[in-house]
Structure 1
């Protein structure tokens, strides 16, 4: 794995310059969040699906959604709006963001970079803030490669926005049924950019996890477990307290799994998971089963949780029942999360 490095002074200076040019243009005056265009990373790392925010005067920014995963989460948030829980939103986002904030939203590292460059900003919503978002992790400072791509995206956003002001049809999805891509081509030491209208990529829900169950081990753990005429609710959700394994690591939001007896409303099990793609929910459920017994039914409301539990449910003969709402889980969730406020 390539070691992530911090931007150097030259990269920071170029990024702040691009951010200043973008802010001076203020394209949120004529562009909306659904006016998407794309920038291909000259270094070949990713494609950025870019959206401009701030038409409501509240939060001005350029959001560079990375790949189809980032595009999918962005479109989901546009569709659902305020319905999306802020913490669940952080578990979806994969993007880079340049926003313009009040000074008190910057931390010491941000202010030190600005001071080191000899820059100064004044007023509300005037301070550039650059952040990287990855699913499951806290917003974090940019790596060197992220800073370079965000700078390129800001520069290309200025090019696109200037033309869109005079020709709104340039990024009209209804008119073209395509997205405008800004595509780089290296010419010696320089990069030339051209427009391409490309089909809108197919996006959807991310693929469900395909867990591997240690069948023999699971069988041994199920031996002797009594059968229960009970229904459990099982769910997993992020908690609003970022943590990290080692000092200096990027903080992440742990996910809490709960097992609730639907009949009594009591929490019969809980487990914490880090930022892994497929937490071992089956083995955690087996530990609850060893202690209490095998339930008749497990109710779930998230497809991801159903996929994680499916191999165990088949092996143990447990009915796995998808539902739209889990009363017991929601009550326990509210009670537990109130302690983090």
Structure 2
């Protein structure tokens, strides 16, 4: 299938989806699974409240973990922002003309499709951990098309009450192929923890640390806005580790993580360098669930109290960093 034919079929499916308005019949946490070639794509259909009409598609076990992480409610906007930027998924939105990526505007025009009015323009974005949201490529467009082609008849069957599912009792709507397409309710799969707990293995390291009366704030956050690195085919998101001494409000460590650096391991390593330089603090304060799980075992071994709490005092530093992105 050539590029233009692929996108024509994708927009045709989207137009049918818009006419169908399935978001009127489900909530965003009423999950749908589509199994294609032994891979399950987990879908969340947005728009029930009329404020954000769209569809997000998550692939496989890791995708399910990402979907569950963004389904949680977090107290702080910065934590929600971190979780949103740290996910990998393909998303279709209905928005305004200025929100549509340039290449998709050109494709809409070339194909002869017409959309008018605010909130009535379809567009597609790819979210990928460590990278800034970006327009989808042809391979990703094919995945979205494959999912839409099975999702539309599934939602028609659900809307016509041809398949029964109890979302409130932990079920999902599911479609798979076995000689023919089968629609059924399935229990939601178990959730693999997205943020691994790291266990301390070097007990000698703890014994050699001095004691301090300091308290630290430790955070890991994505910065709003992307930046270009010629080594990659899409913009990166700035992911920064920050450590602040509570009493003085002094930043004692700040690092922009590289894409190849594993987040949890790097948090643990940077915290260890902090302990070597300043000694064991009495308390640390965190808000990011990844940071908590990365550091909690070491804190336990060191007798450091670790607290999950809002960190509004560090946000102005992140705001200043974003101003230079």
TM range (shorter): 0.7 to 0.9
| Residues 209-266 of structure 1: CA deviation (Å, up to 9, x unaligned) | 54898999x79xx98x875432323222222132243166222322222222223222
In the other structure, the counterpart of 1:162 is 156
Partner of 1:199: 187
- TM-score, length of structure 1 as denominator length: 0.78
Aligned counterpart in structure 2 of residue 334 of structure 1, from 312, 316, 322: 316
Whole-angstrom distance in 1 between the partners of 2:313 and 2:104: 39
The corresponding residue for 1:293 is 278
Verify the 8 A CA contact 2:217 2:285 in the aligned structure 1. Answer: yes
Larger radius of gyration: 1
> Secondary structure of the equivalent of 2:174?
strand
Q: Distance in 2 between matches of 1:249 and 1:340?
A: 22
The question of whether the paired residues in 1 share the 8 Å contact of 2:223 and 2:318 is answered with no
Q: How far apart are the structure 1 equivalents of 2:58 and 2:150?
A: 14
Instruction: Flag the 1:313–1:54 CA change in 2: closer, same or farther, 3 A.
Output: closer
- Cα 1:82–1:142 change in 2 (3 A) is farther
Alignment of 1:103-118 (within 5 A): 103-118=97-112
Structure 2 alignment gaps of length 5 or more: none
Q: 1:233 to 1:154 in 2, by over 3 A?
A: same
1 CA distance for matches of 2:296 and 2:23?
46
Counterpart selection for 1:235 from 219, 230, 248: 219
Task: Tell me the distance in 2 between the aligned counterparts of 1:258 and 1:91.
Answer: 17
SS in 2 for 1:240: strand
Change (3 A) 1:207 1:12: same
In structure 2, the residue matched to 1:3 is none
CA contact (8 A) 1:209 1:277 kept: no
With over 3 angstroms needed to count, the CA separation of the structure-2 counterparts of 1:205 and 1:312, relative to structure 1, is closer
| Residues 257 and 270, structure 1, Cα contact 8 Å, conserved in 2 | yes
Please give the TM-score of this superposition, normalised by the length of structure 2: 0.81
Matched, 1:246 2:230: yes
**1:260-279 equivalences in 2 (<5 Å):** 260-275=244-259, 276-278=261-263, 279=265
CA-atom RMSD in angstroms: 3.4
**C-alpha separation in 2, matches of 1:213 and 1:272:** 26
Task: Choose which of 4, 9, 16 in structure 2 pairs with 1:14.
Answer: 9
The 3 A distance-change label for structure 1 pair 307 and 89 is closer
**How many pairs align?**
318
Match of 2:115 among 85, 96, 121: 121
1:182 aligns with 2:175: yes
Contact 2:216–2:243 (CA under 8 A) maintained in structure 1: yes
Rate the CA distance shift 1:73–1:130 in 2: closer, same or farther, 3 A. Answer: same
Q: In structure 2, do the counterparts of structure 1 residues 114 and 209 end up closer, same or farther at CA, with 3 Å as the change threshold?
A: farther
| Structure 2 match to 1:139 | 133
Structure 2 residue aligned with 1:49? 42
When residues 12 and 251 of structure 1 are mapped into structure 2, their CA distance, relative to the original with a 3 A threshold, is: same
- Report the counterpart of residue 290 of structure 2 in structure 1: 304
Quote how far apart the aligned CAs of 1:308 are: 3.6
